[in-house]
Structure 1
Amino acid sequence: MAEASGAEDVPSPPLWRDRNFGVFWVSQTLSVAGDSFAYIAVPLLVLHVTGSVAQMGLLTGVAGAASVCAGIFAGVLADRFDRRTLMICCDLVRLVLYGLIPLAWTFGPQVWLLYVVLPVGEAVGMVFQVTYVTAVRNLVGVDRVTEANGRLYATAAAAGLGGPLLAGVVSGQFGPAAAIAVNAVSFALSAVGLFFVRFRTAEAADVTGVTGVTEAAEAAEAAEGTGVTEPAPARQRPWRELSAGARFLWRHPVLRSLTILLSFFVFFTLGMTDVLIYHLKHDLGRSDGTVGTVLAIAAAGTIAGSLLVAPVRRRLGFGATWIGAIAVSGVAMACVGLSGRVPVIAALMAVYLGGVSVAGICSMSLRQQVTPDHLLGRVTSAFWTIHFSLGPVGAAVLTWGAGEYGVTVTCLVAGIACLLIAVTALLTPIRRSGPEHTAPATS
């Protein structure tokens, strides 16, 4: 990992004056905007050539399966290789992959190529995403990681909102293949930006934060039998390597509770966007344009929550912020089904997504703060695998409930379930104001 500039006792500059963070922030925002081009252009490309919705679904399923499989091993890669170099390599591979599509399309449609490019691209993208999460702490230090995550999340939400609109314009004027070319260029911009970014060493990143991080690292290293002076333990058997992240999550009392409760939260909320669209289209008879407007307003809640999470957490502490965000999301979700007015529904969805973003950023930031650097990739992979395991089933149940019993009943049940999750959290270590000081159990 590249050396951090400056001595460890020099106070870190504000994020808006931090050149490394600024370059990283801009380049990754452009990359997210590019991803949104492919998000729109690839389905359009398949639809233009085949006219088959089934082909679109099959391609999405294959790509999703590749992403899940890659997630199992992504953490090991992030922990064993230089993270900046790994992210640059991921960007360059995706540049080549997505650049092949418009190049091949100049000789005529090549649908078979999409079944090669998308699964490989999604797998590489998963490795990038896991490494990205682990690299943020090395970029800004643990003391500013919540603020950094909030800013990155906010601009990613804004780029994800504006990107599809631009992608539609480019696809309409020049064709979907041209929009995919824009996505390929965005990976080049991301790689160039990462090349000019310098990350702290693991030791420097830990030293800038709270003492609880050092204590957590020492406890984890003692539990693994590696000794506190060795930041990266010797390679172990493959299964031990892959399961190290899950073991750390289980040993840490706060992360263990968060992982369990957030898994249930995802079960009750992952299908909420589908339920919202069904409510607007089926129950209220609104147009596609109205659906888009409501989703755009709701996205503003994500941006607002991302910008507010750092000051709110500093003022209220972790426990009150996370539990309050989950409770607010639950109340807003329950009220969506009770309202028949589009402006009210849009406002409630903005509140709901604002709460989701606050809770999610708090959770991610805490994992970055308390996890030893040599385990952070595997902990991230393990958390995401467990966290989203119930999501697809929950989305199916939620949408089935909306069709079978109505949106009102479904939203009330899901909202009340989220409130129960918040109440349950009050009985767990999550309620602590400063859980970043909590070390994992050593046995």
Structure 2
Amino acid sequence: MKTTDRTLVRVLRDREAGLCLAAVVVSGFGTSALWLASGVWVKDLTGSTSLAALCLLAMWAPTLAGPLLGTVADRARRRPLLIGVNLLLAALLLTLFTVDSPGRLWLLYAVLFLYGAAGVVHDAAQSALVARAVDPALLGDFNGLRTTATEGMKLLAPLAGAGLYAAYGGACVALLDAVTFALAAGLYALLRAREDRPARTTGSWRRDTAEGARRLWSHPLLRSLVLAGGATMLCAGVNGALVYAVVDGLGHAPAYAGVLYAVQGAGSVVVGVASGAGLRRLGASRFAAYGIVLTAVAVALRAVPSDPVALGCSAAIGAGLPCVLIAAFTAVQQKTPGELVGRVAATANSLVFVPNTVGLAVGAALAEVADRRLLLVLAGLGLLASTAPLARRSARPLPDEPRRARGDARHRG
């Protein structure tokens, strides 16, 4: 508890970090509420499970264009861009009040697709703004607390969204999400960070996008963390697809998966608070590798048909899985020149999270033809193998970058 309090005070004492974190919490609550309610909405209107699943696909598909969309964040000042994106999403969500029949579902899918695309730009701009507005020494703590906040919202917001949907319908959930984006825009407007106008580029969008990818690939630490992160999320996707098979093996109803996810979320909340100290003590590579190993052991042990083991494994997965993600995105913010952070962060995001979708598909297909215990053990071994890119990295802690974010690049108003 003392460690938690110290970490919270360390970040929240910094005004800019506190405002950015509050914006993440507010908008994340609305997003988590909507992603569940949208699928239920489609299911109620059509009775089709496959059409309901398309909601999640529509939101995730723009991630494939992450490197290109991230370039947008480097061609504009990030704070005004974040304010504009949040207000745009708030207005866009209000159009869902007209979705009241299967014939209007095209609008819901279109909004969700634009929602996903705007989210990629938003995340890239936010990463870049945080890298400039927050003390570099606080970035590990900030990203850990962001994970804690995000996982906390996943525990609370879907329940709130489901309850709101059951009482008032999907349009009311969309309104809630719109309000959270409007509030987030207001929080970004309160930031005092002032940015110079980005230098006008003479290059093409393709060249600017490729520059971000080259920067990511040419930096040994960033490359190793992103490769490890992508491989980890691929295996994590396979594990995620097997959750209902695990529940069957325990002899429970499918709803028990919610208990496992809740315990996993609790594990992520805990590690998020401790990650800043972990990064400083262990270094990015070792911190990520330890988290992956913990996840690998927990995934393999899920093959044991025991409730206590299953619950313990869920908590361990929740604690281990975010480590490589926090390490990778903190390193991107610390090791990337300010004018490239948006596109490098978006490229890293795509390389890390797209494999998760592939893993989910592969796991779902294999679950029909192979024993879950074999697949879980293989997924655990795959996770251990994903530490290979990190094995060649030294375990030196991430050094603090020069305090450019609080000097030349950040001017108090």
Gaps of 5+ in 1: 1-12, 203-229, 439-443
Is 2:67–2:212's contact at 8 Å kept on the other side of the alignment?
no
Residue 97 (structure 1) aligns with: 92
Q: How does 1:30-69 map to 2 (within 5 A)?
A: 30-69=26-65
Matches within 5 A, 1:394-413: 394-413=359-378
Cross-structure match for 1:132? 126
Task: Tell me whether 1:191 sits opposite 2:154 in the alignment.
Answer: no
Match of 2:334 in 1: 369
Q: How does 1:95-174 map to 2 (within 5 A)?
A: 95-102=90-97, 104-105=98-99, 110-174=104-168
Partner Cα separation in structure 2 for residue 172 and residue 390 of structure 1: 34
In 1, the alpha carbon distance for the partners of 2:100 and 2:362 equals 43
Which whole-Å CA distance do the structure 2 matches of 1:198 and 1:399 have between them? 47
Distance 2:101 2:261 in 1: 38
Question: What is aligned with 1:433?
Answer: 396
Q: Is the 8 A contact 1:231 1:373 kept in 2?
A: no
Secondary structure of the 1:110 match is: helix
How far does residue 424 in structure 1 lie from its aligned partner after superposition? 5.1
Query: How far is 1:284 from its partner?
Result: 2.5
Q: Determine the C-alpha separation between the residues in 1 that align with 2:180 and 2:271.
A: 26
Pairing 1:3-402 to 2, within 5 Å after superposition: 14-69=10-65, 71-102=66-97, 104-105=98-99, 110-199=104-193, 201=195, 232=199, 234-280=201-247, 282-337=248-303, 339-402=304-367
Q: Which moved more, 1:362-371 or 1:42-51?
A: 42-51
Contact 1:15–1:21 (8 Å) recurs in 2: yes
Relative to structure 1, is the Cα distance of residues 107 and 49 closer, same or farther in structure 2, using a 3 angstrom cutoff?
A: closer
Q: 1:235·1:241 contact (CA, 8 Å) conserved in 2? A: no
Relative to structure 1, the CA distance from residue 68 to residue 140 in structure 2 (aligned partners, 3 Å threshold; closer, same or farther) is: same
8 Å CA contact 2:136, 2:400 repeated in 1: no
Distance 1:31 1:437, change over 3 A: closer
CA positional deviation for 1:166: 0.9
| Alpha-carbon contact 2:264-2:316 (below 8 Å) kept | yes
Number of the residue aligned with 2:382: 417
Distance 1:328 1:420 in 2: 13
Equivalent-residue separation in structure 2 for 1:251 and 1:112 (angstroms): 42
Q: Report the Cα offset of residue 148 of structure 1.
A: 0.7
* Residues 27 and 190, structure 1, Cα contact 8 Å, conserved in 2: yes
Distance 1:108 1:68, change over 3 A: closer
Match of 1:9 in 2: none
Contact 1:30 1:159 in 2 (8 A): no
Deviation at 1:234, TM superposition (A): 3.8
The Cα of 1:108 is off from its aligned counterpart by 10
What root-mean-square deviation, in Å, do the aligned CA atoms of Structure 1 and Structure 2 show?
2.4
Which amino acid in structure 2 is aligned with residue 122 of structure 1?
G
What CA distance in whole angstroms lies between the structure 2 residues aligned with 1:295 and 1:60?
A: 18
% identity of equivalent residues = 26
For 1:276 and 1:106, the matched residues in 2 are separated by 33
Give the TM-score, by structure 2 length. 0.88
Paired letter, 1:64: W
The alpha carbon displacement at 1:200 in A equals 5.9
Q: CA deviation at 1:188?
A: 0.7
Deviation for aligned residue 1:405: 2.4
Change (3 A) 1:43 1:424: closer
Deviations 1:236-272 (A, max 9, x none): 2332211011111121111122222322222211232
Query: How far apart in 2 are the matches of 1:313 and 1:435?
Result: 7
Alpha-carbon offset, residue 162 of structure 1: 0.1
Task: Find the aligned partners of 1:312 and 1:183 in 2 and give their Cα distance.
Answer: 34
Change (3 A) 1:109 1:30: farther
Give the aligned partner of residue 3 of structure 1. Answer: none
What TM-score results when the alignment is normalised by the length of structure 1?
A: 0.82
Shift in alpha-carbon separation, 1:62–1:26, aligned structure 2, 3 A = closer
Q: Using a 3 Å threshold, how does the CA distance of structure 1 residues 107 and 312 change in structure 2: closer, same or farther?
A: closer
Measured after TM superposition, the shift of residue 299 of structure 1 is 0.5
Distance in structure 1 (CA, Å) of the matches to 2:228 and 2:102? 50
Q: Which has the larger radius of gyration?
A: 1
Question: Residues 59 and 112 of structure 2 are in contact (CA less than 8 Å); yes or no, is this contact kept in structure 1?
Answer: yes
**Counterparts in 2 of 1:389 and 1:119: CA distance versus 1, 3 Å:** closer
Q: Distance in 2 between matches of 1:433 and 1:420?
A: 22
Q: SS at 2:224's partner residue?
A: helix
Displacement after TM superposition at 1:362 (Å): 1.1
Identify if the C-alpha distance between structure 1 residues 17 and 59 changes in structure 2 by more than 3 Å, giving closer, same or farther.
closer
- In structure 2, what is the Cα distance between the partners aligned to 1:263 and 1:24? 26
